[in-house]
Amino acid sequence: MAIFDGLKVLELARVPPAEMPGMFLADYGADVLKIETPEPHRTRDAQEERRAAFAFVNRNKRSMTLNMKAPAGQDVFRKLAAEADVIIEGFRPGVLKRLGAGHDDLKKLNPRLVYCSLSGFGQDGPYRDYPAHDMNYLSLAGVLNLIGEPDRKPVIPLNLVADYAGASLHGALGIVLALYAREKTGRGQLVDVSYLDTSVSLLAATPNMRFFFSDGLAPRRGEGFLGGSYPYYAIYETRDKKLLTIGCTEPWLWENFCKAIGRPDFVKHARKPDQFVRAANADEAKARQEIEALIKTRDRDEWYELLVKADVCVGKVYDVEEMVKDPQITHRQMIVEADHPKLGKVKQFGIAIKLSDTPGSVRRAAPMSGEQTEDVLKSLGMTAEAIADLRTQGVIE
């Protein structure tokens, strides 16, 4: 039995970060129903259908179309909400309230409802209604200015931080916390998740922020022991023009590395207590340059095998094509297959949280928009004639 069997979730989201919390719940058995905007004149081709099937964040879900601006659509949604355990929405604050589907409206209808809102700046505050994307949140959170080399503009990371590590994971955790609280109180509640808030929280947990409030030590881009300037935590180019990461922040691991490359004299450059916010000094930078030259004498994979055996924290900088073939990735089932009614087996990335007794599973590929609309409406007791009437009105697709 999956841990969330019987849990009914409604998802109103248009962007993947707001869709991912529902995927987590669906992977562990929840019935997640996506509510999507109907497009009566939509034309689908084989390429679109194939791409939809591979949509990672929508796997294990069902989909129906529903025009939430139409009164009839709002009536249908309220019927669904009355029986739901969780609603996940990713719109700007106030949008769903205007459609009669805000938290205050629905908690009267269903007091046990857990209502998760993911928005850029949260449901209150002076920035509440501003538009933004991942890079904007990172810049405001002080994260972006710390990524990259000191003499260049900050490096724009993939939208892994604010969007996914921030909003998606905090949203999923917030829902689980609220469901656990409901077991004690009998009541649902609002889970208010801000992309900016979660980015600040993630930054606060990093080592180079450890002494900001206590000692007033503010980190700067390219500085600190994780900034890339120190020889023990750096990216090195190999003979075959590939890259290798060395992450020996513990002195004993750095000693292993120095011995493995035949430079035990570099052990003196192990991490020191004063390096949380300062950049490498001239002696440390010179050691890094010498190691760079030495690393260029062998190919990446050759170094990797040597350093792994020497108990060194080392990583090959993979292209994606290499990553999906890595033996550790495949052994841990991080590349799996899901069933699709037309395309057969489609590849998916796997489930990262491995539960021993109630594991998650990838049961089916993502649905096409509106694939289960009629099934859902029939489950509400609607007749074929009533469903046809909704289609004529443009309430469903």
**Any idea which residue has 């009669």 for tokens?**
100
Is 163 an annotated catalytic residue? yes
Q: Rounded CA gap, 350 and 357, in Å?
A: 17
Cβ contact 22:32 at 8 Å: yes
Tell me, rounded to whole angstroms, the distance of Cα 191 from its chain centroid: 17
Cβ contact 147:154 at 8 Å: yes
Q: Which of 75, 124, 129, 133 is catalytic?
A: 133
Q: Rounded CA gap, 118 and 167, in Å?
A: 7
Is 192 an annotated catalytic residue? no
What distances in angstroms separate CA 32 from CA 7, 86, 90, one per listed residue?
A: 8, 9, 15
Q: Which of 27, 85, 134, 163 is catalytic?
A: 163
Taken in order 211, 233, 139, 176, is the CA torsion positive or negative? negative
CA dihedral 217, 221, 227, 228 (to 10 degrees): -150
CA Rg value for the chain = 25
Cβ contact 363:60 at 8 Å: yes
Q: Rounded CA gap, 239 and 301, in Å?
A: 10
Q: Which residue, 51, 63, 58, 115, is CA-closest to 86?
A: 115
Cβ contact 12:90 at 8 Å: yes
Counting Cα atoms < 13 Å in the Cβ hemisphere of 256 gives: 17
Cβ contact 21:175 at 8 Å: yes
Please give the DSSP secondary-structure letter assigned to residue 162.
I
Query: Which are the catalytic amino acids?
Result: 133, 163
